[in-house]
Amino acid sequence: MNPNVFYGKMGVTIKQIAADLKLAISTVSKALSDSHEISPETKARVFEYAERMEYKPNPYASGLKDNRSRNIAVVLPEIADSFFASAIDGIEAAAQTKGYHVMIYLTHEDAQREHAIISELRHRRVDGVLISVVSNSSDIPHLQGLYEHGVPVVFFDRVHTAIDTANVVTNDFDSAYSAASLLIRKGCKRITFLALRGDLNIIKDRTAGYLKAINDHGIDTQLNPVLTCGHQEDETMTLIRQRLTQEDSPDGVICSSEKLTTQTYSVCHRLKISIPEDIKIIGFSHLPIASLLRPSLTTVTQPAFEMGRTAATLLLNALDKKRTILKKESIVLPSMLIERDSTG
């Protein structure tokens, strides 16, 4: 069969159906939406014919009227992080049940890229935006603009509190507090907290929780510092290696992100520092295979799927009611501290 037969064969339009059935376009439109002002016979004819022709309304044509596409955007720093992968899973689940479609945008921790993406989203390609930001200090005006122009925004995980909208987070402060307390309880005297450069609320909260625990236990803060790492892999690995080989090297580490966690493990493996004997490690990570690591990793595990689903549901509910301004609220879903072998 010649493939060109099909070339450009588009779906049937309402116009086509109207012509074929010798009806007015509006009659067909009403019939298809099961309007009461159309006779049962006509409806039947139209339905049957539409079915046979596999008619499907063009979503963007209908959307043109009320300016909706039923598309939402998800803007993320990266996707290779299992937290974000699971979050997307949750978002997609919520979207599918509500008849929305999910567009993915990756910022790769680059504020400029994020900026470009946000700008692009002003064009009304999507009805709303779910975002986990690159940094707190960047791009507030743009996000604010997006929001003000009728594209609602819901933050999740990495939030901007400067913008008055809904967000979904986890209890970062408390989790870090618990993590530090665990290490202290396990006898660690020189803990290092690995923070992430970039002015992020979640990192600030985790750091604060850690410091509070150190303080509450009356421990020397000098010996239990915070080490701030960047997003560059080589640089960070070097930093971690230096820290683990210096004099008075730490006997406990809390890694505030998934990447930092795996990087720390790598360094320990290479330097043959044994976990948990020489050093105990806790990672903020959603890794499903934490238990298969060498040794199995004690984690603060975020409710990633639920956070994604909750954020999406908040957004979608608003959209369904055609509300583009969301009540400022913060939904906090708890993380879990799961003890495994890396804390001995």
d(CA 151, CA 309) in angstroms, rounded, equals 19
Q: Tell me the DSSP string of 1-55.
A: --GGGTTT-PPP-HHHHHHHHT--HHHHHHHHTT-TTS-HHHHHHHHHHHHHTT-
Decide if 95 contacts 312 (C-beta within 8 A). yes
Residues 141-160 that bind its own copies (CB under 8 A): 145, 147-150
Q: Which of 67, 246, 272, 289 binds DNA (CB under 7 A)?
A: 67
Burial of 246 per CB tally in 10 Å (0-12, 13-18, 19+): exposed
Can you read off the two tokens belonging to residue 158? 């990495």
Q: Does 16 engage in binding with its own copies (CB under 8 A)?
A: no
Q: Which does 293 bind (CB under 5 to 8 A by kind): DNA, its own copies, none?
A: its own copies
| Residue 31 CB, nearest approach to DNA (Å) | 7
d(CA 140, CA 144) in angstroms, rounded, equals 6
Q: Which of 19, 20, 44, 61 binds DNA (CB under 7 A)?
A: 61
The site map against its own copies for 167-206 (x = CB under 8 A) is: ----------------------------------------
**Pick 173 or 265: Cβ nearer its own copies:** 265
Binding span for its own copies by CB under 8 A among 6-14, 26-34, 213-221, 235-243: 6-14
Decide if 253 contacts 237 (C-beta within 8 A). no
Q: Does 23 engage in binding with DNA (CB under 7 A)?
A: yes
Binding span for DNA by CB under 7 A among 35-43, 150-158, 264-272, 326-334: 35-43
Decide if 302 contacts 83 (C-beta within 8 A). yes
d(CA 277, CA 84) in angstroms, rounded, equals 32
| Residue 6 CB, nearest approach to DNA (Å) | 16
Q: Does 64 engage in binding with its own copies (CB under 8 A)?
A: yes
Q: Does 321 engage in binding with DNA (CB under 7 A)?
A: no
DSSP 132: -
Q: Does 44 engage in binding with DNA (CB under 7 A)?
A: no
d(CA 311, CA 129) in angstroms, rounded, equals 10
DSSP 67: T
Q: Which of 112, 245, 291, 317 binds its own copies (CB under 8 A)?
A: 291
The site map against its own copies for 104-133 (x = CB under 8 A) is: xxx---------------xxxx--------
Q: Which of 86, 170, 171, 178 binds its own copies (CB under 8 A)?
A: 86
The closest of 132, 226, 134, 210 to 172, measured between CA atoms, is 210
The closest of 197, 201, 198, 179 to 188, measured between CA atoms, is 179
How far from each other are the two terminal CA atoms of the chain, in whole angstroms?
A: 67
Residues near DNA, by CB under 7 A: 10, 13-15, 22-27, 29-30, 32-33, 36-39, 41-42, 55-58, 61-62, 64-67
> Interface with its own copies by CB under 8 A: which residues?
3-4, 6-11, 54, 56-61, 63-64, 67, 69, 71, 78-80, 82, 85-86, 88-89, 92-93, 96, 101-106, 122-125, 145, 147-150, 164, 262, 265-266, 269, 287-289, 291-296, 324-325
